[in-house]
Homo-oligomer: A and B are copies of this chain.
């Protein structure tokens, strides 16, 4: 069975950060499934400081989840 999210565990913090970005994007995708519309919106918000900061906040929240799941990669 295929899944876009097999696990929250990643080998490294960097891969965990990438997963946090993925979680943020999938949430948008599930609300707006039309890729054409998403691409058009992306062109706008990519050049908008407020939207970029808001995006980075979503990533930060998701990274909290992924980091906790991985025991903060302490060992």
Contact = CB atoms under 8 A, between A and B. Distances in A.
A4 B18 CA distance: 12
Interface in A1-47: 3-9, 12-14, 17, 21, 23-24, 26-28, 30-32, 37, 41-42, 44-47
B17 A5 contact: yes
A54 to B, nearest CB: 5
> How many copies are assembled?
6
A67 B65 CA distance: 7
Given A8-B74, A57-B58, 13 more contacts: A8-B67, A9-B72, A17-B23, A17-B27, A23-B60, A31-B52, A37-B47, A41-B47, A53-B55, A53-B58, A60-B61, A62-B63, A64-B65
